[in-house]
């Protein structure tokens, strides 16, 4: 995840095994328990299935340092709200480093769209009375993170409450009862259909005497539209800025005074700001640099270096030049998963991710399927075969299938294809017998015209983690049926997360002749052929 513009932030992956983190938390644990844990780990290692991933990216726990405290946050990639987003990290660091200008001690603070709870944790550690809000499905993980990181550390115990933006606000949070000194929001503006409701919610809580602080990284045109509406709705000022990442402060327009806290807080020391301006004149934008160097920075050696530690985890580091340019408000520790290295078919595979969409994230079933294909080449021989991948995302499965000798067509929605094509070409160029193709495919839509069965026939259809919490499962099944004709083998890898997964699995079994290739708890790999 691109937490800040890479030329200004030192990235450190904090991916630890559960055993390591438990030992770290149990500072007074005795030696006997540690030995037992090691023995148990060894037994579990022996039980691991042969198809277990060589490199399994886990971002379920991250560690941050703010307010002089170690903060451990559990994430869940099953929803947008289950991830740490870049604006949240930046807002936390800003609050931590501007305690005199923005004192939260004994202040009533509301966070909108709290997600994993990192911002609420930091606000609570800074002495605030915090109420963290989000949708009901998110509250469990949010509550756990808040409790874990604030218990016994804070003046006031933070509260967790459900809040649906724009819905029945005066009844659930009447303004006569609920008043807040600060309203915080970080990365709540992204690609969704509730931006009008979000603005209504901000207006509802931002009354006279309330300061609203909103941190955001611009990703879509809708972000810019929302920003304009935000500026029209409130008296606003810019607290901090770094490229597409901005932190705004706002007060309601009914308020008479212009003594906005934000107007007194400046982004950078003057000399740093001038230095940044000179650099901007001499250098192209980071976005343009990425477009020019994305394919070559691994082979040619860019300003980012990737290395593996003893556990096989990949860490990216900045050069000293970039560290010298770091902004004064840039996070001390930020998690970035925009670049990772995997090892399959005897090759290093460099994957760029982008958590701006589900399709641009590495999901566990993709790793499991890659490992299965790599370790079962006789059972599933892809050499010279025609292969189609549904929902290719970052392209890892397509890359592995191509390296195994297949002629692969990777498909996904149009907005995902840019990153998909870059990953595929970077990792297959001059390595494969067949150059993989990348095409747009909308499940269930106009299939016979775009992929007529008289023309397109595939030996294998691959799909990994395409079943999750969305409204297109019927269309997915229709698409699978369209491509899985006589002579075609469909291989689908999935990690069960929701009840809808189980329903889809039952429908999948009714639609095809199926068998279970591999299983590890909630992770399953199915093979299917058509019933015709």
Rounded Cα gap, residues 133 and 300, in angstroms = 46
Q: Cβ(169)–Cβ(175) under 8 Å?
A: no
Domain range 68-272, its CATH number among 3.40.50.150, 3.50.50.60, 3.40.50.300, 3.40.50.720:
3.40.50.150
* Whole-angstrom distance, CA of residue 47 vs CA of residue 288: 48
In the three-class reduction of DSSP (H, G, I as helix; E, B as strand; rest coil), residue 233 is classed as helix
- H-run or E-run covering 401: helix 396-403
Q: Quote the pTM value.
A: 0.45
Per-residue tokens: 466: 């395409």
Q: Which of 66-75, 261-270, 358-367, 499-508 has the lowest mean pLDDT?
A: 261-270
Instruction: Taking residues 96-114, report their average pLDDT.
Output: 94
Q: Which of 132, 49, 119 is nearest to 88 (CA)?
A: 119
* CA atoms of 396 and 399, how far apart (whole Å): 5
Query: What is the pLDDT of the chain when averaged over all its residues?
Result: 76
Higher pLDDT, 390 or 86: 390
In this structure, of 28-37, 116-125, 358-367, 510-519, the range with the lowest mean pLDDT score is: 28-37
CATH class of the domain defined by 337-530: alpha beta
> If DSSP codes are grouped into helix, strand and coil, which group holds residue 3?
coil
pLDDT for position 62: 80
Q: Which of 27-31, 68-72, 205-209, 432-436 has the lowest mean pLDDT?
A: 27-31
Cα(465)–Cα(362) distance, rounded to whole angstroms? Answer: 10
Lowest mean pLDDT among 135-139, 170-174, 216-220, 275-279: 275-279
Q: Is 496 helix (H, G, I), strand (E, B) or coil?
A: coil
| 119 close to 178: Cβ distance less than 8 angstroms | no
The residue with greater pLDDT, 234 or 75, is: 234
Higher pLDDT, residue 190 or 432 = 432
Pairing between strand 512-520 and 523-530? antiparallel
Beta strand 304-308 with 314-318 is antiparallel
Q: Is the pLDDT of residue 258 over 80?
A: no
Considering the chain, what percentage of its residues have pLDDT values greater than 70?
69
Q: Quick one: pLDDT at residue 52? A: 47
pLDDT at 400 over 50: yes
The number of helices, as runs of H, and strands, as runs of E, in the chain is 19, 20
Mean pLDDT is lowest, of 37-46, 50-59, 460-469, for: 50-59
What does the block give as tokens for 417?
């294809």
Domain locations in the chain?
68-272, 337-530
Q: Answer for the pair 451, 441: CB distance below 8 angstroms, yes or no.
A: yes
pLDDT at residue 386, as a whole number:
97
- Maximum average pLDDT range among 7-16, 291-300, 352-361: 352-361
Question: Which residue, 355, 347, 434, is CA-closest to 396?
Answer: 347
Residue 475 — pLDDT band, cuts 50, 70, 90?
very high
278 confidence band (pLDDT: 50, 70, 90): very low
What is the per-residue pLDDT for 382?
Answer: 96
pLDDT digits (tens, 9 = 90+) for 21-44: 444 444 445 555 555 555 544 544
Higher pLDDT, residue 56 or 128: 128
Statement: residue 310 has pLDDT above 80? no
**What is residue 333's predicted lDDT score, i.e. its pLDDT?**
30
- Residue written as tokens 């005897």? 346
pLDDT at 304 over 70: no
Examine the pLDDT at 103 and tell me if it is beyond 60: yes
pLDDT at residue number 120: 97
What pLDDT is attached to residue 46?
46
Domain 68-272 shares a fold with domain 337-530:
yes
């Amino acid at each position: 995840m691109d937490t800040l513009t890479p030329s200004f932030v030192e990235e450190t992956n904090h991916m630890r095994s559960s055993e390591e983190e438990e030992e770290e938390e149990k500072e007074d644990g005795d030696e006997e328990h540690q030995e037992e844990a090691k023995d148990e780990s060894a037994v579990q290692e022996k039980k691991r299935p042969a198809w277990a991933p060589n490199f399994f990216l886990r971002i379920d726990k991250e560690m941050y340092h703010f307010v002089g405290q170690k903060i451990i946050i559990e994430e869940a990639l099953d929803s947008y709200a289950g991830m740490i987003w870049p604006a949240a990290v930046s807002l936390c660091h800003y609050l931590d480093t501007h305690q005199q200008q923005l004192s939260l001690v004994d202040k009533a603070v509301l966070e909108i769209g709290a997600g994993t709870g990192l911002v609420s944790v930091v606000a609570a550690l800074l002495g605030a009375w915090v109420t963290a809000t989000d949708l009901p499905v998110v509250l469990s993980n949010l509550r756990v993170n808040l409790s874990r990181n604030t218990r016994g550390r804070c003046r006031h115990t933070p509260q967790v409450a459900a809040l649906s933006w724009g819905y029945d606000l005066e009844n659930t949070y009447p303004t006569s009862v609920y008043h807040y000194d600060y309203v915080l929001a970080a990365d709540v503006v992204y690609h969704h259909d509730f931006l009008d409701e979000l603005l209504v919610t901000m207006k509802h809580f931002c009354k006279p005497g309330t300061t609203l602080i909103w941190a955001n990284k611009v990703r879509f045109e809708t972000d810019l539209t929302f920003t304009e509406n935000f500026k029209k709705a409130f008296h606003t000022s810019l607290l901090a800025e770094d490229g597409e990442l901005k932190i705004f402060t706002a007060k309601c327009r009914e308020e008479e005074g212009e003594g906005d806290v934000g107007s007194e807080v400046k982004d950078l020391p003057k000399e740093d700001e001038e230095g940044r301006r000179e650099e901007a004149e001499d250098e192209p934008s980071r976005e343009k640099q990425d477009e020019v160097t994305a394919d070559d920075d691994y082979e040619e050696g860019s300003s980012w270096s990737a290395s593996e530690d003893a556990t096989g985890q990949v860490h990216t580091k900045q050069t000293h030049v970039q560290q010298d340019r770091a902004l004064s408000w840039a996070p001390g520790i930020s998690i970035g998963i925009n670049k990772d290295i995997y090892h399959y078919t005897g090759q290093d595979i460099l994957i760029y991710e982008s958590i701006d969409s589900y399709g641009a994230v590495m999901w566990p079933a993709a790793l499991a399927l890659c490992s299965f294909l790599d370790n079962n080449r006789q059972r599933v021989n892809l050499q010279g075969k025609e292969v189609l991948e549904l929902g290719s995302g970052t392209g890892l499965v397509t890359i592995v299938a191509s390296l195994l000798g297949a002629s692969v067509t990777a498909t996904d929605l149009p907005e995902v294809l840019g990153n998909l094509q870059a990953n595929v070409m970077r990792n297959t160029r001059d390595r494969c017998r067949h150059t993989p193709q990348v095409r747009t495919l909308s499940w269930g839509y106009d299939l016979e015209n775009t992929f007529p069965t008289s023309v397109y026939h595939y030996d294998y259809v691959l799909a990994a983690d395409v079943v999750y919490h969305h409204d297109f499962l019927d269309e997915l099944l229709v698409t699978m049926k369209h491509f899985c004709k006589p002579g075609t083998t469909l291989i689908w890898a999935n990690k069960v997360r929701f009840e809808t997964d189980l329903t889809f699995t039952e429908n999948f079994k009714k639609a095809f002749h199926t068998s279970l290739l591999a299983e590890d708890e909630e992770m399953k790999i199915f093979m299917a052929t058509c019933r015709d």
